[in-house]
Amino acid sequence: MLRNYKIEIGIGAAVSLVVFLLYRGVNLLPLAMVAGIVVGLAFAAKMRGQGPLAASSRGIQAKKEASTQMLTFEQIGGQERAKRELVEALDFLVKKEEIARLGIRPLKGILLTGPPGTGKTLLAKAAAQYTDSVFLAASGSEFVEMYVGVGASRIRDLFTEARKKAAKAGKSAAVIFIDEIDVIGGKRDGGQQREYDQTLNQLLTEMDGIHTSEAPRILIMAATNRKEMLDPALLRPGRFDRHIGVELPDVKGRLHILQIHAKNKPLESMELLDRTAAETFGFSGAQLESVMNEAAIYAMRDNLEVIGRSHLTSAIDKVMMGEKTDRETTDEERVRVARHELGHAIIAELVAPGSVANVTLSPRGQALGYVRHQPQRERYLYTKDYLEGQIRIALGGAAAEELFYDNRSTGSKGDFDQAINMVRTMAECGLTELGIIDPGMLTPEKLSSLASGMLEDLLKQTKVMLQEQIHAFEYALDILVAEEVVDGSRFRDMLRESVPAAV
């Protein structure tokens, strides 16, 4: 109430002063201009504190505050090599006396590269915990705005905030983590100056300003899955000194990740995780976490207290293919899809025995049916024979349709796309009749001609292989149509049982 009286008294005094000056004939125009400038500056300052820039900065600060939950390297599974390499780099911050004795310059930046969902952000958080540092996180997209100079200003604020927080917390170092750094760190084209270039230039300047002797010490970490797009100035020594690949986990890594995410989940048997790890080739850590979560949801739907084998199988299928759809197919379509999928599965067992995980007729995503494979051993190099075998597996469905119906359906489109991609890989690796060629010289016309000849030959071979297994189709068809899902081990038993007895 008293405050309102003060405002009214002030307004009354100002009006009285203006009236008095006008009565005395004083020119108030200069005073009005000065007052307008002062009011304008005050309003601009207020809007700056409430505008998009300030709001965005508060959003980044809120995210950094929310990202301070720490974890250790032991809580991260499937990246043993990346963790060893990262710990070695971080020891430059931890073992200060030893590196000073040997004259080693501490690292300024560590770049984590690899596919999405492999744990790059988790590694950065564990790095902050390992070095007992303050941890600040931001995404590359947060530095990009329509306002010129905003990104560069945010970069400066981020480094300033890191130093302040480290000093306030009594820490000797701070870790700044920028996810998706390719957004602001892309290659500069040398053309007209862009907002992205200003932001990148500011980041380079801040990294150059990191001195190894200053306290608190700043370590910048960044992550990207498109390293080839980054500007060379970022990648040189003295900025991002170490490039650590964070790849998809192998079977041991997948088992470790599954064990971590199964700690708070009741499993029917821990042996289920071994089989799940074998069946999830090519899965990232994020996908494996989703598998365990979806399996728990399936168990809840069934009102069961423990997670069983069927729940894990359904979870793997959902993560790979999507949720089941409500598509209703006719009996004729259902039988055709069954023969198509049996063609894939039979060829897979002939080419790579023991590789079929299950055969399913339940529609998921865009597929009316599918065969899920589990490689017996993980490969990182592929021979011509191996790739041709994989092409035969992809063509097995179309070959089965031709064998029984003398025609094909649109259900083979995805199989043909997969086969053509493998032909392209073979051509680029010099495994075709074209010999060693420059991939840039592989025109669409040349690839089409090459793929057409190769696929027709392999399709004929696949049909011959299936013709010799016609008894397997007759034996397994009714069982698959009736049950919809056939486990891989049972499918192999069916193949053995379908072999005609010797006369």
Confidence bin at 427 (pLDDT 50/70/90): very high
CATH code assigned to 64-186+194-245 = 3.40.50.300
pLDDT tens for 442-453 read 888 888 999 999
pLDDT recorded at residue 53: 43
Q: Which has the higher per-residue pLDDT, 67 or 34?
A: 34
pLDDT recorded at residue 18: 66
Mean pLDDT of 418-438: 91
- Rounded CA gap, 109 and 3, in Å? 54
Q: Is the dihedral of CA 432, 435, 439, 441 positive or negative?
A: negative
| Residue showing tokens 């990104």 | 151
pTM for this prediction: 0.73
Q: Which has the higher per-residue pLDDT, 438 or 390?
A: 390
| Residue showing tokens 């020594």 | 237
Angle ∠(346,326,339) on CA atoms, nearest 5: 20
Contact predicate 209/163, CB 8 Å: no
What are φ and ψ of residue 325, in 5° steps? -105, 170
pLDDT recorded at residue 66: 41
| Residue showing tokens 């306290």 | 215
**Cα–Cα distances in angstroms (integers) from residue 374 to residues 11, 281, 377, 418, in the given order:** 82, 7, 9, 17
Terminal-to-terminal C-alpha distance of the chain: 109
pLDDT tens for 153-187 read 888 888 888 888 888 888 888 888 888 888 888 88
% of the chain residues with pLDDT over 70: 82
In the predicted structure, residue 114 carries a pLDDT above the cut 50:
yes
pLDDT tens for 51-103 read 444 444 444 444 444 444 567 888 888 888 888 888 888 887 777 777 778 77
Q: Tell me, yes or no, if 341 is annotated catalytic.
A: yes
- Stretch among 141-145, 354-358, 471-475 having the lowest mean pLDDT: 141-145
- Rounded CA gap, 320 and 366, in Å? 12
pLDDT recorded at residue 195: 60
Q: 392-402 burial, b for 16+ CB within 10 Å, e for fewer? A: bbbbbbbbbbb
Confidence bin at 211 (pLDDT 50/70/90): low
In the predicted structure, residue 463 carries a pLDDT above the cut 90:
yes
- Give which of 219, 206, 240, 245 is closest to 132, Cα–Cα: 219
pLDDT recorded at residue 213: 60
Tell me the average pLDDT of the chain.
Answer: 82
CATH code assigned to 331-497 = 1.20.58.760
Q: 222-261 burial, b for 16+ CB within 10 Å, e for fewer? A: bbbbebeebbeebeeeebbbbebebebbbbebbbbbbebb
- Stretch among 48-62, 224-238, 470-484 having the lowest mean pLDDT: 48-62
Contact predicate 360/499, CB 8 Å: no
161, 206, 294, 341: the catalytic one is 341
Tokens found for residue 218: 């700043």
- Stretch among 8-22, 174-188, 370-384, 488-502 having the lowest mean pLDDT: 8-22
Q: 409-446 burial, b for 16+ CB within 10 Å, e for fewer? A: eebbeebbeebbebbbebbbeebbeeeeeeeeebeeee
pLDDT recorded at residue 1: 46
pLDDT recorded at residue 85: 87
Ramachandran quadrant class, 213 (left: phi over 0; alpha: psi -120 to 50; beta: rest): alpha
In the predicted structure, residue 501 carries a pLDDT above the cut 70:
no
In the predicted structure, residue 36 carries a pLDDT above the cut 60:
yes
pLDDT tens for 352-367 read 998 898 898 888 777 7
pLDDT recorded at residue 323: 79
Strands 217-224 and 173-179: parallel
- Stretch among 37-51, 165-179, 220-234, 332-346 having the lowest mean pLDDT: 37-51
Q: Is the dihedral of CA 482, 486, 490, 492 positive or negative?
A: positive
- Rounded CA gap, 68 and 30, in Å? 54
pLDDT tens for 244-303 read 999 888 888 899 999 999 999 999 888 899 989 988 888 999 999 999 999 999 999 999
The domain locations on the chain are 64-186+194-245, 251-321, 331-497
Mean pLDDT of 340-351: 93
Give domain 251-321's CATH architecture. Answer: Orthogonal Bundle (1.10)
- Rounded CA gap, 128 and 219, in Å? 9
